[in-house]
Structure 1
């Protein structure tokens, strides 16, 4: 992205992919920072957290490559400038792992907020590779 304007531009980007999971699932690495929320809105504070198979609708700061494994598949998720992610388990048999450049409401809490100066560019991407898939 490039700021073509004449003023600074605040920016947070995110995506919302869902992945099929069967049975218990695991995410590796599974140690990160969970965004502390008030009424589901991050406050700007984080806490150490271990992500285990369970129910989530939470934002995490978890930079680097990730591996999602279940009896259905193993996936590798790579990201650039998208060190936050939202985990959401609201759909049975699926897990949303949503790469984001910042936390929800980053405009107010500052978690991951990027401000582009006029003419400044930044690149965001994520890639999912299927390492194993069962029938």
Structure 2
């Protein structure tokens, strides 16, 4: 396998498009470059001893997203029988090794995580969680998450993405994001989820209001999510209406700090703490499987 930052990686290339993936590090998409320019951000000197905490690429969020709370304690969840268990931030998938299979055409990869004794201590279900990336052409990336209940009990879950899009912090004031119809929510410091408020469909990335905001989709998206970066003469569209896909629940916007050279735009199937609030909570019957798909497309903005 090729080496990147002293790690084994899978490299997919099509024309000017290049994708790096590290299955052993949580099935992580590390970077996507187009003509050498970063679309997905990856840091130059990450701490590979804690891959789940690296600020870059696309961490896979499963079985639950973000923070769950029980009786004021973060990192815990209560099942239908009242049993309380620990659960890491964003679930455990981003910290575990996935098996990987490269497509025969060399344009894609499918990575798979299955349950084990250690996962069943946190999440007592049999599952198969798959993430697939495919370069549809050099400007389009197809992404699928497929979740299967391989056990004999009804299984709750809500998975998602955490895309770190490359955006120099000095360009936030001119870069914009357009969203489908939505209402917005956020998680409060005590773990409760704020009530829904009418959401706008256009924001600038220097708007502090959108940090850690859940833009909950109001029905099926009628337009893609669109990011415009005038200084880079680039637009990025995220199509959330793909054939055979379940409905995405929300798109979350977040960045670490005002001087971070990335901004995260995160399609989610549910909201944090949905296991308790029901906001996006999904259930799979034994043997049932469902796919959540999206397409990311990069295009040039008109000059001038």
TM-score range, shorter chain: 0.7 to 0.9
Q: Distance in 2 between matches of 1:40 and 1:93?
A: 29
**Higher relative contact order, structure no. (Cα contacts within 8 Å, ≥ 6 residues apart):** 1
Q: Does 1:124 align with 2:124?
A: no
Select the structure that is richer in strand.
Answer: 1
RMSD over aligned Cα, in angstroms? 2.3
Q: Does 1:2 align with 2:148?
A: yes
Q: Which moved more, 1:37-46 or 1:109-118?
A: 37-46
Instruction: Indicate which of 276, 279, 287 corresponds to 1:108.
Output: 276
Instruction: Indicate which of 92, 97, 111 corresponds to 2:265.
Output: 97
Matched pairs, number: 134
In structure 2, the gaps of 5 or more residues are 1-146
Partner of 1:76: 237
In structure 1, the gaps of 5 or more residues are none
Structure 1 residue runs of 4+, over 6 Å off? Answer: none
Shift of residue 41, structure 1, vs aligned partner: 3.8
8 Å contact from structure 1 (residues 42, 103) kept in 2: no
Q: Distance in 1 between matches of 2:225 and 2:199?
A: 16
Partner of 2:163: 17
Shift of residue 26, structure 1, vs aligned partner: 1.6
TM-score (norm 2): 0.40
Select the structure that is richer in helix.
Answer: 2
Structure (1 or 2) with the larger CA radius of gyration: 2
Shift of residue 75, structure 1, vs aligned partner: 0.4
Q: Distance in 1 between matches of 2:190 and 2:251?
A: 14
